[in-house]
Structure 1
């Protein structure tokens, strides 16, 4: 039996070495952030003075301002403008911006994205009026940062509101606003203070991000990209390693297992040359290491709002069904690691396996859900 134990130990060591061989890789650029509450920064963005130049794509440099807020300087815009970054969705390649001086409408009056790597996801035309009287303005939401003593600036996308305001107010401008969601109905009045949503066409990293990979620049290249796994290997490199090293090792392991089984049977025949017996013991049922319904229901649930704002803005896809979260979706959060999933998906997983599907953290060893704060949401 000592020889068998040593052989089995050798087999375990071989399998461990094979696993290390497949997943080991060169170090890739790590995530960064201006503050724990700020968006996570990774390729194609990079944080200047913190991340190396090769960790970002040209035109995607970010900085931290004096209050540790994430800031983006839109390159080649006329005039150049700096915005505060509210959130980044790497899977859908979208970024939410606002004015650090709390007067976004002033920026929108002169915003021109034609020379930048970003474009609007959806535009909505708004007409601005300068009204010197309070007459009928109770129905309109004034733009406080553009208004002053004796006059009020209002904005609308409604043709009816434009007709009403034209009779008593002065026309200022009609501007295209990069809205967060396309409005299928005309907006009677808006102060234009909501975040603007932009997207980028290059580099194309959304598909890689959606599959759990990470984009990065190819070696010795300024604009060619490749998709890396979480361990830093490209999919082609992982396949080559698996085939080149895994197949011969697997054949050796199979041969070793067959040899062990043959030796074990031979030992049994030598130890028991005459006796034959059968076991009357019933097979033990397979134990399910999942969670009970009461424990699962104690995990916090969140109804996603229209802006899909989560504790982790880059986690916009359910890791189980790989579907993008949509407004009004019900999500459930695993305590401790704070990973989110569709409630229906994780409710089907946890009765079979108590560990988190993403980080393998076991909530059984985590603090009770009542002691953990639920993930932040914009509309519960």
Structure 2
């Protein structure tokens, strides 16, 4: 039975299953990228999302009762957009803002109360921020505040203009006394629900020209579908990984051969130690006959020793007591408990106090046989 070539199978799959492309709605650029659900008169899109491009390259969105606002940017995956006034007086638009007839709603909002003040202007302008595009100094000044305390204060000094729910960018306006309200408005939309498609790299659009049902299409620039990309990655990645492993094994084998046959080759541990300059292992201490030859002394009642000042064994750190047996190292004359020095010298061929190396007894020569 002939086994099919996985590469040929993959390319047959790609050729027989070409990726879908979204040809009904095209993207346009006017300061920001405009694509589904937004659209211009020349392109298709979702109802309520029509925008226009001004002569100075501003993308304008017409909101009911508010007029045209400039789109600063659009996040299609999060389904959010940021707006501002093209004439740089956003508070004037906010006084008539009503999103109930539009597909958009505020992500966060705070209720701002507007006041028109014509008296005590110097005092008020030192405490609060006036809206410059609505004020006419020194005749009157307009203030907007989300603070209930400031609302009570200004109510006794100024004329109430109105209260508006402002779509703010962040929900941190509880401690703001007043604001000029020049920041962008942050809005969102729920329908059409294309955020999931956008976040996965697709493009949302209608299933056909005669239906409002939506579908998610791959990007035309992607060329092939996600499943085909996974198949290509597996077909290319697995052989590449196996080849890399084989190359590494060949390199390791080559190094082993060079080490075994090269000028640094060694066959045994002894050869390696000799090559590295390691001295052969030797016994560090003295032999037993040498240790047994050292003179012994039994301490009397006065606990006197040959060396004055020796009252404590330097090995066990215990004081000498009468009738204890001590042993003296001849080369330096230092005394220690016999048991302590007998255990010390087989491991260390030096005095524990002065580090003098005692001499070993000469080894008897072997007699030659007649």
What TM-score, normalized to structure 2? 0.56
Q: Give the match for residue 140 of structure 1.
A: 128
Task: Mark the CA change 1:158 to 1:27 in structure 2 (over 3 Å): closer, same or farther.
Answer: closer
Q: Which residue of 1 aligns with 2:216?
A: 227
Correspondence for 2:69: 83
Indicate the residue corresponding to 1:32 in structure 2: 28
CA contact (8 A) 2:22 2:205 kept: no
What per-residue deviation string (whole Å, max 9, x for no partner) do you get for residues 123-177 of structure 1?
2011111111322321211111111141000111112222222232222111111
**Inter-partner Cα distance in structure 2 for 1:283 and 1:40:** 58
The partner residue of 1:110 within 86, 96, 99 is 96
Aligned partners of 2:254, 2:143: CA distance in 1, in Å? 74
Per the alignment, do residues 210 and 283 of structure 1 end up closer, same or farther by CA in structure 2, a change over 3 Å counting?
farther
Q: C-alpha separation between the residues in 1 aligned to 2:124 and 2:206?
A: 57
**What pairs with 1:1-380 in structure 2 (closer than 5 Å)?**
15-28=10-23, 29-34=25-30, 38-49=31-42, 52-53=43-44, 56-74=45-63, 77=64, 79=65, 81-132=67-118, 133-149=121-137, 150-183=139-172, 185-231=174-220, 282=252
For residue 58 of structure 1, report the CA deviation from its aligned partner. Answer: 1.0
Q: In the aligned structure 2, how far is the partner of 1:198 from the partner of 1:185?
A: 20
List gaps (5 residues or longer) in structure 2: 236-248, 256-370
**CA gap 1:280/1:194 in 2 versus in 1, 3 angstroms:** closer
How many angstroms apart in 2 are the aligned matches of 1:157 and 1:26? 49
Ranges in structure 1 where 5+ consecutive residues have no aligned partner = 1-7, 247-252, 254-278, 286-380
Q: Which residue of 2 aligns with 1:311?
A: none
Q: Which residue of 2 aligns with 1:276?
A: none
- SS of residue in 2 equivalent to 1:116: coil
Contact 1:121/1:199 (8 A) holds in 2:
yes
1:229-260 deviation digits (Å, cap 9, x = unpaired): 22499x9x988x99xxx9xxxxxx9xxxxxxx
Q: Deviations over 1:329-356 (max 9, x none)?
A: xxxxxxxxxxxxxxxxxxxxxxxxxxxx
Task: Find the residue that maps to 1:165 and give its secondary structure.
Answer: helix
Aligned partners of 1:178 and 1:26: how far apart in 2? 36
Q: Are the structure 2 counterparts of residues 16 and 157 from structure 1 closer, same or farther at C-alpha, using a change threshold of 3 Å?
A: same
Alpha-carbon displacement from aligned partner over 1:17-69 (angstroms, at most 9, x marks no partner):
444444533453442211xxx221111111333xx32xx11111111111011
Secondary structure (helix, strand or coil) at the match of 2:123 reads coil
Distance, in Å, in 1 between the alignment partners of 2:202 and 2:164 is 38
The structural deviation recorded for 1:220 is 3.4
User: Secondary structure at 2:92's aligned position in 1?
Assistant: helix
Kindly state the Cα deviation for residue 89 of structure 1 after the two structures are TM-superposed: 0.9
Q: In 1, are the aligned partners of 2:146 and 2:174 still within 8 Å (CA)?
A: no
Aligned-partner Cα distance in 2 for 1:128–1:284: 84
1:80 to partner: Cα distance: 5.4
Between the aligned partners of 2:127 and 2:15, the Cα distance in structure 1 is 66
Give the number of aligned pairs: 233
Structure 1 residues 17 and 115 mapped into 2: Cα distance closer, same or farther (>3 Å)?
same
Cα separation, 2, equivalents of 1:129 and 1:24: 59
Is the contact made by 1:103 and 1:193 (CA closer than 8 Å) also made in structure 2? Answer: yes
How many Å separate the matches in 1 of 2:157 and 2:191? 46
Q: Is the 8 A contact 2:66 2:96 kept in 1?
A: no
Q: Which residue of 2 aligns with 1:299?
A: none
Q: Secondary structure of the equivalent of 2:153?
A: helix
**What is the aligned-residue RMSD (CA, Å)?**
3.5
